[in-house]
Amino acid sequence: MVETMEVSRLSGGEEDEEPVTALTEARHLETITAPNTAAHSWRLKERMKTVSVALVLCLNIPVDPPDIVKTQPCARLEAWIDPLSMPPPKAIEAIGNSLQKAYERWQPRARYKQSLDPTVEDVKKLCTSLRRNAKEERVLFHYTGHGVPKPTSNGEIWVFNKSYTQYIPLSIYELQTWMGAPSIYVYDCSNAGIIVKLFEQFAEQHEEEWKHKGTSGGSSPPPPSFRQCIQLGACGAKEILPMNPDLPADMFTACLTTPISMAVRWYLLQNKGKLLQGLNLDIVDKIPGQLSDRRTMLGELNWIFTAITDTIAWNTLPRDLFQKLFRQDLLVASLFRNFLLAQRIMRSYDCTPVSSPQLPPTHQHPMWDAWDLALELCLGQLPTALRTEDPYSHVHSPFFEEQLTAFQVWLDLGHEQRHPPEQLPIVLQVLLSQVHRPRALELLGSFLALGPWAVNLVLSVGIFPYVLRLLQSSARELRPLLVFLWAKILAVDPSCKADLVREDGYKYFLKVLADPSMPAEHRTMAAFVLGVIVWEHPEGQRVALQGSLMPLCLEQVSDHHPPLRQWATLCLGRTWHHHPDARWAATRDNAHEKLYTLLSDPVPEVRGAAVFSLGTFVSSLASHERTDHARAIDHTIAITLANTVTHDGSPLVRRELVVALQYLIQMYESSFLTVARQYFRDEMIDLSPQSLTSSTDSIMSPSNSISRVFSRQGGRQVTSPNQTLGTSPDTSLTDYGHMSPGVKRTASTHSISSLGCSNVFSGVSTLSYSGMYCKLWQTLITLERDPFPAVATMAKTVVDYVRSKVVTGSRDIMEQKVESAPGTPVNKPIFLPGESPPTTLETSTPTRSRSRNHLNNHTEENDNGFMKPLVTTEFVEWSAKTFILPRQKTNDELSSPSSPLHGYSDRSLNSRLLAESEERRSVGTNKLDDQVFVHRNPGPPAVLLFHPIHPLLTVADKSNVTIWDVERSLRVSHWSNNNVGSSCISALSVINSGTPSTYVATACDDGSVRIWKDVYQSSHQATRDPPSLITAFQATLDINPATRGAGLLLSWEQDTTTLVTGGDSRTVRLWDLQAERRTMELPTGGDSTSFITALHSHQAGPWIVAGFSDGYVRVLDRRLTSNRAVVRQWREHSSWLISAHLLNASQATTKIITGVVSGEVRLWDMRQSNSVQVCAPNQEMTAMATHANAHLFATGSVNQVIGVHHASGSSVNVIKYHEGFMGQRIAPVSCLAFHPRRVLLAAGTTDSYITVYGLSRR
């Protein structure tokens, strides 16, 4: 019945629940490096302005040019003025003024000069004068040649002599010389294409002449870049301007300067216009409103026209050309928008406008249809609008709403491998409207969330000045949207922070951060934006300090939202980085003390942020600015970090600790050199780098190959009552050569970190210097032996720096003594807890200049007096990925066939569980002696562990791990555990079983835990990543170096992501692997001669059972306080416990089964004060395993026997021989393991063979 309930629960009851996983956060699945978000060149190298405009009109009213025969009637309007309606002198003057007024709509601040029917001298004088005044800015040359012959094939345009009796040619080559560069030319004349073509040749000729002048001697200014000049021509070569009397004679100029009037007139002339009744060409000039007022009909048409032409250009031109023509110069941008209209209109009259740089054809772009629709809707209302005096009475066009809807459809229907949305320029224009602005910002935010490529597109389209201007808005409903946009922008391009400081935009984010009604997510974004503004930006730090940024951030560090705590802390650290004024302001607020609480935060990123900020707090003062008070604070921070973070469960946090400690070493270098020198002297290591390495290697050399299994019996002698565990530290460190191999193996350098500072540095502690330097050096040595390679490498870099200084130190430096630093502003010394003050105290100051005089300084000092760091991390930049990268797919969304365990999921869960249940029921009738798998392991097996679900066996020898597929009889993976020194693997656990993120945890007898990913890999996978270390930490610190015991033991609880650790000590520690921190310490009591040798817990109950070397069995209840945690203890065993296992942990009648090396096995009921059952085999045990579901236990001995028993004590069978005709006797058993669900027993023997037994079918 119980089995049936279990199958039902596992297969159906919890099927819909989300599995609890650990170590699946981004910090474990990717390297902690800065994202590659190189911003594209959206920001213009230089903004240009057209400051001068030359209007050269060659009309010669009313004389027609000799080479063109005009039709009758013919186009006559010039600048919308009929030249025949007034005397010629007044007509050309009126035309000039009208053209100037049209240009002034686009650039009202330019300097305009008219030259009407000029001579060559007039043009030369005009151009040279404008270029001289414009300096390096752009000059526009507008030429209308309707009263002169067409340009010649030699590149000449025509002007007049003084008496207007002759046409005088004016070479474009000469015009280039007078105009200089940069310039823009507009040619409204027939055959304009020939000028544009020859212009390029003349530009090359000019460049060659400038080069020739440069080689002839003398220094000359750089030549003007004539090739960068812009040209717009009304028609191609050999083309004549249209003469339709319904159109103006200067149709090209009309398109460039008055596009709306020209577009409406042309639309009415087309067939489409006939659909509108009651409209004629006279109504064109009667459209109500102003171009600059978007609420009026004329202003709305101009707004739509700008959005459409921008969109056409954005989707047609290359990005750099779009930037140059449509974003660099307001007048140039307007001319090119209107030039697109000219392309469309003039092509309908067999004219092809030309330009340099050349634009692709745009006259058939689909957006023109949207323009025609918008124009028709507006013109349809025109008769009604003209009958009212209210210019705002018309119904507004739905154009922008429809385009936003199209943008939303693009976002909703997917975006992978698609062209960018063509509506981006329209969204930019919509930001100008208060009505549509919230929706536009929301859609824009959704687009930016797609990744850096989207941010770069938005920036290149020109949205930056718009969103910068929106920061002046006081609308509260826009705050979340704007904060999100700016977080995305600054994450990709931090250079925008200068604009925020210059335009006072940072104040907007200070208001958001100070607003408690804002959601925590948006305050987090505000903190990120402010953190970017102050990072390595002195002006940003200054204004942020004035804006009370630090008090605001200090209010947020206690918020319940972890990202807000993280970024408020990082913002603080960036604010006072290399900024003394900010540090003193923070000191007055006790900012550093408020950050201490974050060192134990449940989120590793928050703890890392706190360490980062405390490190920058220490390094925020240059050496010459450091006072006694500052030094006292530095020392307090250093000791707090060393005591709190050295053994943090997250490598991310420990890496930040190394970075923080290096600042202390750089600031107080001479003191640390003396500590390090004495440390090397006490270890009797030569100060040369080669001998340092060789001596350290000799200390850490592996011991003789003695199996852990057999050492347990020897361990009983080591831990006998006649011998104390706590041998003198001096003896343990100075008598390395006299130690037994077993003791020498466990006395690795990590144990140094667990001893008192005065014990490690016996010579140092007798000198007159503060224990702080000793403590910090000890911390650095501990980090150098960190189980996580990245942490150890960084710490080694710092230690090697100090070592090199010690090696190259002069005799004077060698004789210096480390001096105690002041503990308070009044020079009160600081000591470690429990440390007696030295007999002599001197004041230690960070004498950087003195040490640099004698030592080769490997670091360099900046101009501002700050030292360059020895090691750095990219944690802060990596943290910004939250605001950069798109949302990643979760593990559950990943394709299941890519999972290494996919090959085992063919059968349904129900059928597999029912088969396992039936298999367990058959234990009473079948023996467990069918050899289903046998293979030689790469090394003698020490620990075995089955995967909780699949038939995969993990085998650990001394320093390597191998995974076997026992059904397919093949090796799945193999890797080295990267043990430090001669430590050995002592325990295994499977993390996140049943999920794609399944890991293997290994524990070593030096107290370290390593967790590996990519270990369960199918052999049929095309690409197989080698197993990689996902995290590592020091789980326990009190393993006695003189003890050779069971090593570190593990018990994993998946539902609570809790790792229970113990072994070779008298304390059980609970680690939360999601938070990567120790959550509980449970002392087990007992005398100093006993330690934990067996450990087990179950996530279904609060109990932890621990077996000890002296035979005690203790049950702990984690719900109670630490001093009351032991709720039951038995002392019926008299020898070392090998195994202790909870049975029926989810039920009220929990039972415990234990076994000791003497061979005795007892069954306990937690309600009873004595054991309820005893099974005493006739041989000593070296290994024991328990199958909780099948109520079996197996024992292995050195006598080459495996016994399988029921929990009641009755024997099931005995295994002595291998199967086969020549069945050999099995070797001494070193380890055993049951599969948690199936009835499979794995055995490892000293001859490196592993064998798996199943139920016999006989």
For residue 355, what is the DSSP state?
A: E
Of 61, 163, 63, 53, residue with least CA distance to 115 = 53
Answer for the pair 168, 158: CB distance below 8 angstroms, yes or no.
yes
| Number of neighbours of residue 980 by Cβ within 10 angstroms | 18
pLDDT at 812: 46
Strands (E), 107-216: 111-116, 138-144, 156-160, 167-171, 183-188
Q: What are phi and psi of 1249, to 5 degrees?
A: -90, 145
CA 404/CA 436 separation, integer angstroms: 9
pLDDT at 282: 75
Of 607, 543, 532, 536, residue with least CA distance to 571 = 532
CA 1035/CA 1066 separation, integer angstroms: 14
Strands 111-116 and 50-57: parallel
Answer for the pair 1207, 1192: CB distance below 8 angstroms, yes or no.
yes
Answer for the pair 1254, 932: CB distance below 8 angstroms, yes or no.
yes
Cα dihedral sign, 730-734-736-737:
negative
For residue 657, what is the DSSP state?
A: H
Answer for the pair 1100, 1058: CB distance below 8 angstroms, yes or no.
no
Strands 138-144 and 928-936: unpaired
Rg for the chain, CA atoms, rounded = 42
**Which mean pLDDT values do the consecutive 10-residue runs of the chain (1258 residues) have?**
43 56 90 77 77 95 87 90 92 95 93 95 95 92 95 94 92 92 94 93 84 62 78 94 91 95 90 64 81 89 94 92 90 95 94 94 93 89 80 86 93 76 90 89 92 88 90 91 94 90 93 94 95 93 93 94 96 94 93 94 96 94 81 91 94 96 89 85 54 40 33 35 33 32 34 38 38 88 93 94 80 44 38 37 37 40 72 93 68 40 46 56 70 91 93 94 92 92 92 90 94 78 76 86 77 93 90 94 86 89 91 93 91 91 74 92 90 82 89 89 87 82 78 92 93 83
CA 159/CA 122 separation, integer angstroms: 10
How far the first Cα of the chain sits from its last, in Å, is 27
Of 1045, 1006, 985, residue with least CA distance to 747 = 1006
pLDDT at 583: 93
Give residue 380's region: left, alpha or beta (phi > 0; psi -120 to 50).
Answer: alpha
pLDDT at 839: 34
pLDDT at 1023: 53
Of 238, 185, 262, 248, residue with least CA distance to 352 = 238
For residue 550, what is the DSSP state?
A: H
Q: Which pLDDT tens digit goes with each residue over 1013-1030?
A: 999 876 455 556 789 999
CA 1205/CA 330 separation, integer angstroms: 90
Question: Where are the alpha helices (H) located in 1096-1215, listed in sequence order?
Answer: none
CA 241/CA 222 separation, integer angstroms: 39
Cα dihedral sign, 885-887-890-893:
negative
Task: Using DSSP, state whether 731 is helix, strand or coil.
Answer: helix
What is the crossing angle of helices 538-546 and 520-534, to 10°?
130
Element (H, E) at 376: helix 367-386
- Six-digit token string for 335: 């001319």
Of 1208, 1203, 1212, residue with least CA distance to 1178 = 1203
Q: Any idea what the Cα angle at residue 485 is, between residues 482 and 489, rounded to 5°?
A: 135
Q: Which pLDDT tens digit goes with each residue over 744-782?
A: 333 333 333 333 344 434 333 333 335 788 889 999 999
What would the 3-class secondary structure string for 876-938 be? HHHHHHHHCCCCCCCHHHCCHHHCCCHHHCCCCHHHHHHHHHHHHHHHHCCCEEEEEEEEECC
CA 16/CA 539 separation, integer angstroms: 54
Answer for the pair 821, 772: CB distance below 8 angstroms, yes or no.
yes
Q: What are phi and psi of 894, to 5 degrees?
A: -70, 155
Written as one letter, the residue type at 623 is: S
Written as one letter, the residue type at 1154 is: T
Cis, peptide link before residue 1027, omega less than 30° from 0: no
Of 196, 160, 184, 188, residue with least CA distance to 248 = 188
Strands 1171-1175 and 1077-1083: unpaired
pTM of this structure: 0.83
Answer for the pair 1013, 1030: CB distance below 8 angstroms, yes or no.
yes
Q: In what order do the strands lie in the sheet with 1137-1143?
A: 1137-1143, 1151-1156, 1161-1165, 1171-1175
CA 61/CA 69 separation, integer angstroms: 15
Length of the chain: 1258
pLDDT at 417: 67
Answer for the pair 761, 682: CB distance below 8 angstroms, yes or no.
yes
Cα dihedral 261/262/263/264 (nearest 10): 50
Written as one letter, the residue type at 529 is: V
Answer for the pair 1058, 1040: CB distance below 8 angstroms, yes or no.
no
Q: Any idea what the Cα angle at residue 122 is, between residues 116 and 126, rounded to 5°?
A: 90
CA 250/CA 102 separation, integer angstroms: 13
Cα dihedral 115/118/122/123 (nearest 10): 70
Strands (E), 937-1046: 943-946, 952-956, 960-965, 970-976, 985-991, 999-1004, 1008-1013, 1028-1034
pLDDT at 705: 30
CA 959/CA 942 separation, integer angstroms: 10
Of 1199, 1220, 1226, 1201, residue with least CA distance to 1211 = 1201
